Structure 1
Amino acid sequence: MGERLTTGEISTRSVTIAFRRTSLGGAARLMRDNHVGCLVVVQETDGHNTVVGMLTDRDIVTAVVAPELDLNRYCVEDVMSTDLVTAREDDSLIDLMRTMRREGVRRVPVVGAQGELLGLVTLDDVLDILAEELSLLVGTIQSGKQRERQMRI
């Protein structure tokens, strides 16, 4: 008993990154090639990749594609989000979910003490965990019914 999932335990450690000066076309190719909907934007600081922004496929569409701007004239820093919501490795899953709800974000970089990138948690990751938990509860109901049938025979 007492198992407490942390953000670090559910985070994806292999994160697709971009730098501020990465072209938007290059960023879009990174997303396509890695089958991801966002890039964590980093800058190298003291040998670590420090998180400085997030770029989503939606950012590219709403800022450049929809207004029919020339994709080749822009780079990641022109459209990335800089009002970051991050989590620490030891944050609980419930705290992470509260933060995601409060801030209205679906993707949260996991950072260390100096803001260095350690991983990424997405809403999909959280939903996978919750689905597993719900499945365990459903199993409890089914086991209870089976136990009752065996006792009444």
Structure 2
Amino acid sequence: MEKVIFFDRDGTLIEDKHYLSSPLYIRFKKGVLKTLKALQDRGYKFFIVSNQSGIKRGFFSYRRAERIMRELASRLKAEKILIEGIYFCPHHPGERCPCRKPKTFLLKKIKKTYPELDFSRSYFVGDKKEDIETGKRYGIKTILLSPDCNEKFEADFCIKSFSELLHIIGD
């Protein structure tokens, strides 16, 4: 069984640009590349699970969102970091879709597509309440990335910098 870490995208792996509409604006947060490489060396597989309501709001198209995600994966691959899969919800928060975090449809889809993943040894890392709720609802250990760990949203762990993941996630 494969160990896995699910990451939110904006505000977690990359700087949150509020409706990122171009791959030109992708900026990795401090420590992300080095930390991902170390976690990958420990045997973890990576997935990105993201809400992208900018599509439904008209800030960018679904095709543009896919292009941004491909560019993100390509930049990580250039650093020898493999993203196993990228899943995102394109819907507006007011819609009753099954895929918008904190709902767990995207995690269920991943589990069905990748039955070899060991969700009992998995983590969900994000910077928002919805990320933590998603992991909790699916029984995954959760890690909140926040400069102010006072509001933990009942996360299992809270870190102030991405590189702190190395102290929480072991072999």
**Whose helix proportion is higher, 1 or 2?**
1
Question: Same fold per TM (> 0.5)?
Answer: no
* TM-score, structure 2 as length reference: 0.27
* TM-score, structure 1 as length reference: 0.28
Larger-gyration structure (1/2): 1
